Structure 1
Amino acid sequence: MMVSKKKKKKKAQLPFRLNILFFIVFLLFSALVLQLGVVQILNGEAFQAEIDRTTNDYTEVPVPRGKMYDRNGNLIVGNDAEYSITYTPEKGTQASERLDVAEKLAEYISMGSEKYLNAITERDKKEYWYLNNTEEAESLLTVEETEEMDNGEAYNETLERIDEEKVNDYSKQQLEVIAIKKEMDKAMALTPQVIKNDDVTPEEFARVSARLDELPGVNATTDWNREYPYDETFRDFAGSITSESQGIPAEKEDYYLTRGYSRNDRVGDSGLEEQYENALRGRKEKIQYTTNSNGTVVDSDVVVEGERGKDLVLTVDMELQQEIDKVLREEIQTAVQNQPSENKYLEDAMAVVLNPKTGEILAAAGQHYDHEENEFSNTGTSAIYNANAPGSAVKGATVLGGYQSGVIEQGQQFYDEPIQIADTPEKSSWRNLGWVNDLEALEQSSNVYMFYIAMRMGGEYNFQQNKSINIDYAAFQEMRNYFSQFGLGVPTGVDFPYESTGYEGSNPDAGNLLDLAIGQYDIYTTMQMAQYVSTIANDGYRVRPHFMKEIRNPIPHDEDLGPIYKSNDTEVMNRIQMSDSHIERVQEGFRRVFQAPNGTASNYFADKSYEAAGKTGTAEYDIYENGELQASTENLSLIGYAPYDDPEVAFALIVPHVGKGNDHPINHKIGQGILDAYFELQNEDEEE
């Protein structure tokens, strides 16, 4: 009986304990339910919003640049489409993930050329080894060392400690993976980075295109390089654009970034590409990427359609441009071959042709001759960048300045014989001309006549041989003020990123004032000389020279020119202060230079049907090396326009460093070639 009682007691205690346990479980479960209720009721929306949170980011895809055409619709600069492999990483993409993609991509494209392999650095190799041997790499630093460094310092120190022997035995395939990853590492989140573009084969393009789903961030697309149907002709004026690796120039980073550019955008960095960057750049395609809280792209949408750049129609006639380049080369070659000893310093010739009434530049050319290689190179921009003493071609401005200042009158005569100022070298014309008036002084190119204008402008009216003269040095500035009205010594305003304004001599003695009057002191560019003669041809109106004729809107998927976006109208910069009768007097003098029997250019132009006018020029030029005189040479120049009574074309040319004693009239032959080519092309157009 006693045993039975004990068993009953135990049975009574067991349910009680279970009840307590169940009660505790109940309380915990209730607390959990309560907590879940609080989360669901009070914070549910916030947590759900966090789960559903997405971020919108934008990227911009470059479009083809606008093209350049000549005035007749001939393509000067176009776009050559080429295959391109790009990589656009998502936000938060890790280095190991990029490596995985690089290893897969290396199976489909080749990066084995010297261009890519030679760019791989020792650090690139060590980073590759680090990713493939993370545990071993991290063991190169002790825990104590790691605690004393930030992550960047620890990483760099780890790379330093990787034995070079570990990274010097990579296979070519591994090196290609490193080359791909090197390009991928340049990419910013959601911004396309070119991996390979200038030598992607059609097979590579096809292989990558078919496997984009296994290559996260990789795309096979089309890029564009500039093409030049006329090769080097006019190319330095057209300019160049930066490469993908260069992007926007560092010195202009702020300028471009504030105008919506990305750092890796290609921009015009010289010539007309730079001048008209805003028109040629186009409108980039803007894509919106939607990413979730994990950084995964869940959607994309084109929010701004891309549009290629606007097209530039230039004033240049490429047929005329080619002919002038040819004339420059032929005449330099002839001069050198005829008298190699006299012309060993003859290397360059420059010419500018424009419409004097509108300022449209029809051609601008320069050729450089390499005597050792017997080769020519195109140096057209030297017509804008390089300044030279033009000689007597400036005498039209000198005579007009003389009229305006009142120191001479129309018909004024001076006796042309050598001038001897005390204690200075004799100064004379190319020969003694005797009594000459203003027209004869231009026709026969009298230096002495211009000397008298300069002396009178300086206050000296009573010159006597072998006596000193007193000059008011303000005459330098007065004469330069007259010259500047024609564009000499000041900017022409041409639509180009840079132009030289020439150089003013800095020694104001009497002899230099006389030299200034005959174009042998201050120096000018060929473009300035072209604007000067155009101003005289255009009855005293100085117009701005320009390359841009029109900007045209592009037509999608069409090679034809679109509607006009902007036209470049004639801009008169100033009207010279001289009276119509004075301008007409100089125009008559210029006509005589080319047409009258005693004219210095009449042997080459008097029998031409286009009836030209203009002025010849010769300037002495000494060449020094290491402070020692090597040679005394001459610059030859020529300016002109035609027809003289209703000009439609004007030109200027300068040929520096032609040796003295040269019997090849290179300036006349080039000028003749320019006008002949222009009017022959005009006649062909009329016949068509």
Structure 2
Amino acid sequence: MGNKKKKKTLPFRLNIIFFGVFLLFSALILRLGFVQIVYGDDYKRELEKTEDITVNTSVPRGKIYDTTGKTIVDNTPKNAITYTNTGVKQAEIIKTAKQLAKYINKDTKKVTERDKQDYWIMLHPEVAAEKVTAAEKKKLQEKYPDEEEYNKQVYKLQLERITGKELRTLTKDDLEVIAIYREFTSGYKLTPQIVKNKDVTDKELAIVSENLEMLPGVDTTTDWDRMYAFNDTLKSVLGNVSSSERGLPAEKLAYYEARGYSRNDRVGTSYIEMEYENVLKGQKEKVRNQTDKSGNVTSTEVIAEGKRGNDLVLSTDMELQLEVEKIIAEELQRAKQSAGTKLLDRAYVVLMDPYTGEVLSMAGKRLVKNEETGKTEMQDDALGNITTTYNVGSVVKGATVLAGYKTGAISPGTVLSDTGIKIAGTPLKKSWTYMGNINDLTALQRSSNVYMFRTAIKIGGGNYEYNQPLSVSPSAFTTMRNYYAQFGLGVRTGIDLPNEQTGFKGSNTTLPGFLLDLSIGQYDTYSTMQLAQYVSTIANGGSRMKPHIVKEIREPVSDENELGPIVETIKPKVLNTVDAKPEWIKRVQQGFKMVAQTQKGTAYTYLGGKSYSPSAKTGTAQAFYDGPLRSDYKEPPEVYNLSLISYAPSENPEVAMAVMVPWAYQGSVDNGANKKIGERVLDAYFDLKKERLQDSDGKGKKEE
């Protein structure tokens, strides 16, 4: 008999394991099914999401204050309506534009012929399609195999064949829709575009706000305009900001876009607003946009709040500025009553702290004929202090004397004859009056031209003999100009404003007569700001300070009448130290003091006896007119420019001043506008200081 075959059985433990695995797989399958059925769409949307970070609504710019805390430039809020293109199709955008047009009045002046044609085609696509025949389309396909280019050429023909009669069927309402649509599509996707921010009525704002659900992408917000508390005072220096309409300047579009700006962002376009754009612009609100694969926004999240730009505190005192401008305007008008002032139309003043370079006042006025009314108007021209240059005359003689010391041409106390200089073949060059044998101090006090001529000849290595040819080294021009530059004459002062002009340098360095002219300020041209830096350098003992009109940068605060914490203080900067012995500079300081405080000094009539003990140097330059009326003359007429530099007190000076009155007069009647302006400006500065000290003392006593 054969053996009975035994039945094989799995061990009990293995069965338990298999059963457990079965249960786990079952649970997994159930879970996958649950996730797929219940949450499948949600997870699909998550997978399809992409993330964009964009800069959203612009914020107000920083404010600008004067040195005493008065607001100069502020922001005025105004109602605005915006649109953000979230990636919807053209038809949806048009639909929203039509709906919004029912709620607001939109100016249609900017609507172009092309805008009308595009919109007409959108309204009449079938009629537009019939304007290009099948045969024409076939030819275009053969000529332009690329589909995109083919469609472009077809569309071009359609545009050309729209008749004027067809365009005239567009109604006023249609034009408003076109105007709104233009704004909707003027910028980047996901970036708010201002649709209307001018004359938005409360009614318009309210009705749009109430119907935002019917206006996808549209929002109501608060926009702003720059407000100038002192109207035109210092306006040219403060600069301008582009409008939301203009947005980024076309010539600097790439520059700003590379720095994260949107095309409709407003930026500073000139002077302080432009120079300090990075400070004033603020931090725009940042929003994270979740979009699907089609580009539609599914959600937004604010990840950084917007912040108004930082504020600027200027070194300028607006109360002083207003007074200086008033003085310039009054004296300019008064001088115009004198003989020979047909060409006089402007005057400039700069006040500076000689030890810090802070610009305390920068004022200029210009008489301009209004072409519409024919009347002459007084306009702000503070910028003229850095953008225009003139022959300034004898005010440079302090630098000439110091150049003489440095080169060994003269020494402190050197005596020279004031007898006129006669070079063969040229007219006699002399001082305004004969002074006999004089030293360097008298030469400054009474403003001797001849003393400077003889000094310049020695600098140039010349050997002067009466009515004989004279030869000087051309390098003398370079020697003197380089030394002048140490004071800021003929070079950029470094002021924190763009477009500063350095002046014109006479090109002829072969004729010795021009070197003599250079020595008395009648060859090269300089700006009023350069004169202010020059006299400050002498006043402080030889340090050329960098002038600056911004004193501090501060954080913005919500309190309208309070300055925020200091972010940065603009520190005094020494650009260079003049190559001169201290006693040399003291010698020139003594000469300048004699100009203002001794009876034969050229400024004594106006500045003598003043309690604030000024030092000064006057200047009169014989020059050729090159102003706005030059076309009236066959040859440029001769004019006299008037200038004045000063500082006070003579010991430990706290203010330096430069006055420039170009084309002050023709003929022989000196109206003295430079000295009249200078006297009144210095009086105003010290009167204001005294008044504030008295007010401060009064308050202190009252509190006690």
Give the TM-score normalised by the residue count of structure 2.
Answer: 0.88
Residue 365 of structure 1 corresponds to: 363
The residue number in structure 2 matching 1:25 is none
Q: Aligned residue for 1:437?
A: 439
What secondary structure sits across from 2:337 in the alignment? helix
Instruction: Write out aligned runs for 1:248-263 (5 A).
Output: 248-263=248-263
- Cα deviations across residues 130-186 of structure 1 (Å, max 9, x unaligned)? 222222222222345445262233223222222221111433222212211122121
Gaps of 5+ in 1: 1-36
- Aligned: 1:98 with 2:93: yes
**Partner of 1:477 in structure 2?**
478
1:637 pairs with 643, 646, 650, which one?
A: 643
Q: Deviations over 1:372-414 (max 9, x none)?
A: 6231000110100000010000000000010111110111111
What is the distance in 1 between the residues matched to 2:559 and 2:612? 44
Which residue number in structure 2 is paired with residue 348 of structure 1?
346
For 2:638, what is the secondary structure of its paired residue? strand
- The letter for the 2-side match of 1:338 is S
Residue matched to 1:119: 110
Equivalent residue, structure 2, for 1:15: none
- Partners of 2:429 and 2:559 in 1: how far apart? 67
Which piece of structure 1 moves more, 430-439 or 627-636? 627-636
Partner Cα separation in structure 1 for residue 187 and residue 623 of structure 2:
56
Distance in 1 (CA, whole Å) between partners of 2:526 and 2:450 is 22
| Pairing partner for 2:133 from 131, 142, 160 | 142
SS of structure 2 residue aligned to 1:319: helix
Q: Could you tell me how far apart the structure 1 residues matched to 2:177 and 2:258 are?
A: 36
* Mapped contact 1:87–1:187 kept (Cα < 8 A): no
User: What are the residue-to-residue correspondences of 1:576-587 with 2, within 5 Å?
Assistant: 576-587=578-589
Alignment of 1:559-570 (within 5 A): 559-570=561-572
- Structure 1 position 655 matched with structure 2 position 651: no
1:447 to 433, 446, 449: 449
What CA distance in whole angstroms lies between the structure 1 residues aligned with 2:267 and 2:170?
38
Q: Tell me how far apart the structure 2 counterparts of residues 51 and 524 of structure 1 sit (CA, whole Å).
A: 69
Structure 1 residue aligned with 2:532: 530
Q: Secondary structure at the match of 1:358?
A: coil
**Which moves more between the two structures, 363-372 or 48-57?**
48-57
Is contact 2:284-2:306 (8 Å) kept?
yes
Instruction: Give the equivalent residue in structure 1 for 2:618.
Output: 616
Show the counterpart of 1:504: 505
SS at 1:448 equivalent: helix
CA contact (8 A) 2:664 2:671 kept: no
User: Residue 313 of structure 2 aligns to a residue in which SS?
Assistant: strand
Q: Distance between the aligned counterparts of 1:128 and 1:318, measured in 2?
A: 53
> What letter matches 1:84 in structure 2?
A
**1:195 alignment partner, SS class:** strand
Mapping of 1:34-183 within 5 angstroms?
Answer: 50-52=44-46, 53-60=48-55, 61-91=57-87, 93-111=88-106, 116-146=107-137, 148=141, 150-183=150-183
Instruction: State the 1:630 CA deviation.
Output: 5.1
* CA distance, structure 2, for counterparts of residue 70 and residue 83 of structure 1: 29
Worse-matched range after superposition: 145-154 or 205-214: 145-154
Residue 40 of structure 1 and its aligned partner are, at CA, apart by 8.6
- Give the deviation of 1:474 after TM superposition: 0.7
After superposition, the C-alpha distances for 1:448-473 in whole angstroms (9 at most, x for unaligned) are 0000000000112x421101111111
| Match of residue 34 from structure 1 | none
Displacement, 1:622? Answer: 2.3
Q: Which aligned pairs between 1:211-360 and structure 2 lie closer than 5 A?
A: 211-339=211-339, 342-360=340-358
Residue pair 2:191, 2:262 contacting (<8 A) in 1 also = no
1:174-193 aligned at under 5 Å gives the runs 174-193=174-193
Aligned CA RMSD, in angstroms, stands at 2.1
1:88-134, Cα deviation, whole Å (9 max, x unpaired): 0111x2222221111111111101xxxx3221112211222222222
- The letter of the residue matching 2:120 is W
Contact 2:187/2:264 (CA < 8 Å) preserved in 1?
no
Partner of 2:676: 669
How far did 1:595 drift?
A: 0.4
Q: Give the Cα separation in 1 of the matches to 2:591 and 2:252.
A: 49
Q: Which residue of 2 aligns with 1:685?
A: 692
Q: Hey, what's the Cα distance between the residues in 1 that align with 2:274 and 2:134? A: 55
Give 1:661 deviation, angstroms: 2.3
CA deviation profile, 1:465-508 (whole Å, cap 9, x unmatched): 10111111111100111101100111111111221111111001
> Match for residue 33 of structure 1?
none
Matched residues, percent identical?
Answer: 45
Query: In 1, are the aligned partners of 2:85 and 2:185 still within 8 Å (CA)?
Result: no
> What CA distance in whole angstroms lies between the structure 1 residues aligned with 2:72 and 2:135?
66
Aligned equivalents of 1:558 and 1:518: distance in 2? 52
Q: Distance in 2 between matches of 1:553 and 1:234?
A: 23
Q: Which amino acid aligns with 1:345?
A: L
| Cα drift, residue 47 of structure 1 | 9.0
- The corresponding residue for 2:425 is 423
1:286-344 deviation line (CA, Å, top 9, x unaligned): 111222344433211101111110000000000111111111111110011233xx100
Q: Paired residue for 2:195? A: 195
Retained in 2: the 8 A contact 1:491–1:499?
yes
Is 2:599 aligned against 1:604? no
Separation (CA, whole Å) in 2 of partners of 1:598 and 1:346 = 28
Instruction: Look up the SS of the partner of 1:654 in the other structure.
Output: strand
CA–CA separation in structure 1 for the residues paired with 2:533 and 2:443: 22
How far is 1:48 from its partner?
7.7
CA deviations 1:651-674 (Å, max 9, x no partner) are 101111112323421000100111
- 1: distance between equivalents of 2:187 and 2:210? 23
SS in 2 for 1:157: helix
Alpha-carbon separation, structure 2, partners of 1:257 and 1:295: 22
Q: What is the deviation of 1:212? A: 0.7
**Structure 1 CA distance for aligned equivalents of residues 267 and 218 of structure 2:** 24
The secondary structure found in structure 2 opposite 1:629 is coil
- In structure 2, what is the equivalent of residue 30 of structure 1? none
Moved more, 543-552 or 52-61: 52-61
For residues 517 and 117 of structure 2, the distance between their equivalents in structure 1, rounded to whole angstroms, comes to 69
**Contact 2:80 2:223 survives alignment (8 Å):** yes
2:120–2:170 contact (8 Å) kept in structure 1: no
Equivalent pairs counted in the alignment come to 643
Q: Tell me: CA distance 1:464–1:86, structure 2 relative to 1, closer, same or farther (3 Å).
A: same
DSSP-derived class of the 2:567 partner = strand
Aligned to 2:93, what secondary structure does the other structure show? helix
Whole-angstrom CA distance in 1 between matches of 2:570 and 2:182: 46
Supply the AA of the counterpart residue of 2:193: Q
> Does the CA contact (< 8 Å) of 2:618 and 2:643 recur in 1?
yes
Distance 1:630 1:502, change over 3 A: closer
2:315–2:550 Cα contact (<8 Å) kept: yes
2:468 — aligned with what?
467
Deviates more, 1:224-233 or 1:175-184: 175-184
Hey, what's the Cα distance between the residues in 1 that align with 2:136 and 2:243? 43
Distance 1:171 1:255 in 2: 41
2:285 counterpart letter in structure 1: E
CA shift digits 1:632-683 (9 cap, x unpaired): 2100000000001110000101111112323421000100111011011101
